[in-house]
Structure 1
């Protein structure tokens, strides 16, 4: 069973629909609906942290969920979730040069991203005004993609903690091959664990 943390985003139901194509048993909880202890009792095999408004520090139990589960089960953070993972790992969250709400950007991916099966560089949909910085010296932090227009970090992973952040919205119709991004995360996150398919 997977847990999808809903940070009060308008499109969590669309993200859920995409994720259900990868795994049939997903439970959705708003970030103030349960405690971390409640979620731990469910023994999830993965955590997905949804987009949402504001900063990670104001997103209910999001940071506590990361603190409890990171390194134990796969975690995927999208938009706000990406920022939350980055902050937890030691990156700095700052204002972007200009807001990117409902804006499409072309991204370029790294050789590491290609080796993980992510699609070639393409257009993605962004809904954010904050970006991660000061991440290059974080031990184990692997950048995977940047935007061409403002060079913002669009994707990263940390193999040691089995976590990945995606700044753009893979569930948006404005993101080309968004489902493939989620599938590539799934195949990477579960490739070496007995949890695959659990």
Structure 2
């Protein structure tokens, strides 16, 4: 049985995401971002890691960025919303105030039809709940590729060029993202 480690960034959406993984043959452990050490995470021997949404910015995400750094070349990892912002910052990017706050709004997502986005319509609708956005740094795009954007070019997906690390700014668990389960299925296949 595959083991999923969930880093909970104190967000109510975390449990909606966890529910999307239930019933899929996984052992799921959820730990708050300030209640777990890196060595404890390694002792769990996770096969997959989910870094959840949360309030604030990556500086408020406890152990999330250290987990991404330490597991980058070892375990498939998915960062959602704040989790994607953490992924971006680990590889040299910035988190900045978005042009417009997008809380409970739907946008069309244009994507590369690979990895997390394989088999999804182009575009597909997704729920956004954020007032911050990622801005890749000078060296970020050497490590990460932009895998999804909105029509107005706000980055909605990042993937590492070498490691199985992925992030989405939108919320795949929301009822406003009807194809969100495809993203979860694609992520699970990466850890199979």
TM value normalised by structure 2: 0.90
Give the superposition deviation at 1:40: 1.0
The alignment yields a C-alpha RMSD, in angstroms, of: 1.9
1:117-151 CA distance string (max 9 Å, x none)? 34431111001111112358621422111112x32
Equivalent in the alignment of 1:147: 150
Q: Return 5+ residue gaps in structure 2 as ranges.
A: none
**C-alpha deviation, 1:66, in angstroms:** 1.1
Compute the TM-score of the two structures, normalised by the length of structure 1.
Answer: 0.88
What are the ranges of 5 or more consecutive residues in structure 1 without an aligned counterpart? 191-195
Count of matched residue positions in the alignment of Structure 1 and Structure 2: 189
Give the Cα separation in 1 of the matches to 2:115 and 2:69: 25
Checking the alignment, whether the CA contact within 8 Å between 1:113 and 1:145 is kept in structure 2 is no
- Kindly state the Cα deviation for residue 46 of structure 1 after the two structures are TM-superposed: 1.2
Q: Would the alpha carbon gap of residues 179 and 13 (structure 1) be closer, same or farther in structure 2, given more than 3 Å must change?
A: same
Q: Deviations over 1:154-181 (max 9, x none)?
A: 1121141210001100000011211011
Q: What is the CA–CA distance in structure 2 between the aligned matches of 1:184 and 1:90, rounded to whole Å?
A: 26
Pick from 5, 14, 39 the counterpart of residue 12 of structure 1.
14
For residues 110 and 118 of structure 2, the distance between their equivalents in structure 1, rounded to whole angstroms, comes to 14
- Are 1:55 and 2:57 counterparts? yes
